[in-house]
Amino acid sequence: MAADTLASQSIINLDATTSPFLVAANTTGVGAPGAVRESSDYVSNTALGLQDTTSKYKMVRLPLYAKVKSIELSADARPDTGTALTVNVGAYWSDSAFDGTPANLQGTAICTTAFASAVAFNASFRKVDVSTAWSVANQNLPLWQALGLSANAITGAPPAGFIDIVLAVQAAATTGVATKIGARVIHVA
């Protein structure tokens, strides 16, 4: 057997020097304290909407510099009387013309399965963590970096705008049920 003795990068940074005045600074939310925030809201879906694979539900809007720690979905009632309904949880550019998101990107998908793919959202669903595709490393990166967006080539500044967390029907419901579907995003921003 081989035992591991490992340290996270934030511990390595703190141990990097013998002088407390020369310690490498950790980043907010990545080894250094940061204000943990919750952004949550819900949509009132229609029964027929859950039976259509083109349905999309914009749940929460976040700044590009947010570090997403987890995403949870819940529903007031069974959204499908059967077991067919699955959803993807992705990242889309904000569709707002007023928040700094470039006009040519507004409302477009960055990655339709950035956070989760084919999550069973059916008769047995009540509450589930849907950040299954969101890696541990991504939890410590600003959204724009974790999503693979590029900084400005000249200034090095991150892109402008906001990101929407979107739930999209991947496989249609057997029989959809009108209910309230909620999303809760824990992030450091």
- 128 and 182 share a domain? yes
Same domain for 22 and 68, yes or no, is: no
26 and 70 co-located in one domain: no
In Å, what is the CA distance from 184 to each residue of 60, 62, 80, 88, 89?
Answer: 8, 12, 21, 15, 12
Asked if residue 62 lies in contact with residue 72, where contact means CB atoms within 8 angstroms, the answer is no
The answer on 41 and 25 residing in a single domain is no
* Residues 52 and 117 occupy one common structural domain: yes
Total domains present in the chain = 2
Q: Both 61 and 130 in a single domain?
A: yes
User: Are residues 28 and 115 located together in one domain of the fold?
Assistant: no
CATH number of the domain that 92 lies in?
A: 2.60.120
Tens digit of each residue's pLDDT, the chain (189 residues): 677 767 666 666 666 665 666 666 666 666 667 788 999 999 999 999 999 999 999 999 999 999 999 998 888 888 888 889 999 999 999 999 999 999 999 999 999 999 999 988 765 566 667 777 888 899 989 999 999 998 887 888 888 999 999 999 999 999 998 999 999 999 987
The pLDDT value given to residue 115: 93
Looking at the fold, whether 137 and 167 belong to one and the same domain comes out as yes
Q: Which of 83, 49, 92 is nearest to 180 (CA)?
A: 49
Q: Could you tell me the pTM of the whole model?
A: 0.83
Considering the domain architecture, whether residues 96 and 156 belong to the same structural domain is answered as yes
At 43 the pLDDT is 95
- What are the backbone angles phi and psi of residue 146, rounded to the nearest 5°? -60, -30
Residue the block writes with tokens 């809201």? 41
Question: Burial level of 89, CB count in 10 A (0-12/13-18/19+)?
Answer: buried
Q: What is the pLDDT of residue 18?
A: 58
Q: How many angstroms separate the CA atoms of 130 and 167, rounded?
A: 10
pLDDT for res 104:
94
Residue 71 and residue 115 in contact, taking contact as beta carbons nearer than 8 Å: yes
Examine the domain organization and report whether 63 and 121 are in the same domain.
Answer: yes
Q: Please state the φ and ψ torsions of residue 143, each to the nearest 5 degrees.
A: -45, -45
Count of residues in the chain: 189
Residues 28 and 87 occupy one common structural domain = no
Q: What is the pLDDT of residue 22?
A: 62
For position 123, what pLDDT does the model report? 57
pLDDT of residue 152: 81
Task: Provide the domain limits for residue 124.
Answer: 35-188
Q: What pLDDT does 35 receive?
A: 83
Residues 24 and 76 in one domain: no
60: Cα within 13 Å, side-chain hemisphere: 23
Residue in 69, 61, 63, 71 with CA at minimum distance from that of residue 29: 69
Residues 6+ apart with CB under 8 A from 45: 55, 57, 79, 176, 178, 179, 180, 181
- Look at residue 151 in the predicted model and tell me its pLDDT: 86
